[in-house]
Chains A and B, each alone.
Chain A
Amino acid sequence: EVQLVQSGAEVKKPGESLKISCKGSGYRFVNHWIGWVRQMPGKGLDWMGRIYPGDSDTEYSPSFEGQVTISVDESVSTAYLQWDSLKASDTATYFCARLNGGGSDKHMDVWGQGTTVTVSS
């Protein structure tokens, strides 16, 4: 079964760092881009960026460039989303998803279960 399993919920204080994970299984991990999506409480879905595990090529949405770091360790089929200094406004649920298809056909066909991050003093 193709699946993405994300790390568990986190509660952090402002200014703390955090790295959440997304582990793929059931398919050749290096061959598919992994995207990250944010959903703030009561809001819609926001595209954060993507990474290609085969060569670590990374693209960020302008809204998230410099705010987060997307990385990958292909040896353990895991992608990561990292913050150096969390803000209260980072409180949200974060999803990873596998991108399938070619060119402008790429769509997110497999999703992780989501990781809820709460940032509060």
Chain B
Amino acid sequence: QSVLTQPPSASGTPGQRVTISCSGSSSNIGRNYASWYQRLPGTAPKLLIYNNDQRPSGVPDRFSGSKSGTSASLVISGLRSEDEADYYCAGWDDSLNYVFGTGTKVTVL
């Protein structure tokens, strides 16, 4: 069902920089804003980034987002053990549906 494609996994050691890509199309990411959500094990998803690159209050600035064309990216700078989670990109599609990415599991080595 996911129309946004993410790598299934990403990893890094503490302090490293990790980048997660999100590939969409002209009907979703290419035309509308991208958001990113973090799902820690056993908890509800949490909004990390909205409007491509905006962080809600309380989200550490080591999380940053960007968009170019039909793709979006999430960067975690200075990876920490508590960042081990599943990350999902998302956005509106021209079909008026909200679409999620396939999800990326981040592992801290």
Contacts and interface: CB of A to CB of B under 8 A. Distances in A.
Contacts of A46: 1, 100
A97 B45 CA distance: 9
A114 B97 contact: no
Nearest to A100: B50
A104 B91 contact: yes
A45 interface: yes
* Chain A interface, >50% SS class: strand
Given A62-B97, A104-B32, A109-B56, A45 B44 contact: no
B100 A112 contact: no
B50 A101 contact: yes
Interface residues of A, number: 24
Contacts of B100: 37, 44-47
B50 A109 contact: yes
Interface string B88-109: 1011100111111111000000
Contacts of B101: 44
A61 B56 CA distance: 27
B51 A109 contact: no
B10 interface: no
B39 to A, nearest CB: 8
Interface string B18-42: 0000000000000111010101000
B62 interface: no
Contacts of A107: 33, 35, 47, 50-51, 90
B46 interface: yes
A57 to B, nearest CB: 12
Interface in B63-109: 88, 90-92, 95-103
Given A37-B100, A47-B98, 7 more contacts: A101-B51, A104-B33, A104-B92, A107-B33, A107-B47, A111-B44, A111-B45
